[in-house]
Structure 1
Amino acid sequence: MIRHKRLEHRFVEHIPERLEAGILYVSMEYATSAHSCGCGCGEEVVTPFTPTDWKMTFDGETISLRPSIGNWTLKCRSHYVIDRGKVIEASPWSDEQVEAERRRDQAAKAHFYGESPKAEPPVKPALPKAAPGFWRRIWEWVSGKS
């Protein structure tokens, strides 16, 4: 449930250490914004402005961020849109939807930056167990473990 229905924006050079609830801090110098989670849990939410992340629109009076903000790593798992300073609750996402979006995001970044998408790391085959050395074999024979 969204507790903060509106976010007032403040243009700053540096994001402050402590975020005031209901304020969207925007640093053009660092191409990022930050705010206290819209649900009221108090967690910090950072949205970087890049060609593959969020887009910020300032209409002279209000700020909008696109795409939506999905706080999937936070306990609250809140999901909302910031549109002209209003915080609009969006539907929750399943774990499958979150993983699909992460894969899409990774592919978009790879495409934009001219890299191949990161594949899952290959599974390393188990190394064969080394045969016991001469003295180990003698010890096992003497001790009756062979």
Structure 2
Amino acid sequence: MIRHHRIEPRFVTEVPRDLESGVLYISTEYGTAVHSCCCGCGQEVVTPLTPTDWKLSMHGNTVSLWPSVGNWNLPCKSHYVIRGNLVIEAAPWTPKKIESEIRRDKAAKASYYSHQAKGDSSADAKRDSNDRPQVPARAEGWLARLLRWIFG
């Protein structure tokens, strides 16, 4: 269950030791975004901004983080999307799906960085569109329809 449904982007040079709930700390210098888990458990969530990890996009005063944030290593196992400063709860993943994503992620990193080492700038580690998180049926409303329209 998600407790924080909005997130405030805050650009910083250093991430503070004590994270404020509902704030996404973005360090362009270190290529990372950090926040307190949106479920409210208080755990630190680090999302590296690299070609094989997360992408941060800015739209005016709002930010989006893609792909979804799946906190599989935390006790809460929360899963959500940050889109336009909104935190949208996504469907939970099964252990099999999590394991599959971990394997895909490792393969994408190996492929990307081996191509980079060879000087191949066309290396791309895009995620399979089938791996997009599903918004739970109970959230079917204008926001769910908008997300489906945006993400396909």
SS at 2:114's partner residue? coil
Q: Structure 2 CA distance, aligned partners of 1:114 and 1:26?
A: 28
**Shift of residue 60, structure 1, vs aligned partner:** 2.1
Name the structure 1 match of 2:136. Answer: none
- Equivalence map 1:19-34=2 (5 Å): 19-34=19-34
Name the structure 2 match of 1:66. Answer: 66
Q: Structure 1 CA distance, aligned partners of 2:48 and 2:113?
A: 16
SS at 1:98's partner residue? helix
**Shift of residue 82, structure 1, vs aligned partner:** 0.2
Give the AA of the match of 2:109. K
SS at 1:114's partner residue? helix
**Shift of residue 58, structure 1, vs aligned partner:** 1.0
Q: Structure 2 CA distance, aligned partners of 1:101 and 1:37?
A: 20
Q: Structure 2 CA distance, aligned partners of 1:51 and 1:23?
A: 23
Q: Structure 2 CA distance, aligned partners of 1:50 and 1:22?
A: 23
Name the structure 2 match of 1:3. Answer: 3
Q: Structure 2 CA distance, aligned partners of 1:82 and 1:96?
A: 24
Structure 1 stretches lacking a partner, 5+ long: 116-146
Q: Structure 1 CA distance, aligned partners of 2:18 and 2:95?
A: 30
SS at 2:93's partner residue? coil
**Shift of residue 59, structure 1, vs aligned partner:** 1.3
2:71 corresponds to 1:86: no
Q: Structure 2 CA distance, aligned partners of 1:24 and 1:102?
A: 24
- Equivalence map 1:77-116=2 (5 Å): 77-114=77-114
2:56 corresponds to 1:56: yes
Name the structure 2 match of 1:36. Answer: 36
Size of the aligned set, in residue pairs, is 115
Sequence identity, in percent?
60
Give the alignment's TM-score, normalised by structure 1.
0.77
Give the alignment's TM-score, normalised by structure 2.
0.74
Name the structure 2 match of 1:136. Answer: none
SS at 1:33's partner residue? strand
Structure 1 residue runs of 4 or more that deviate by more than 6 Å after TM superposition: none
Q: Structure 2 CA distance, aligned partners of 1:46 and 1:74?
A: 12
Higher helix share: 2
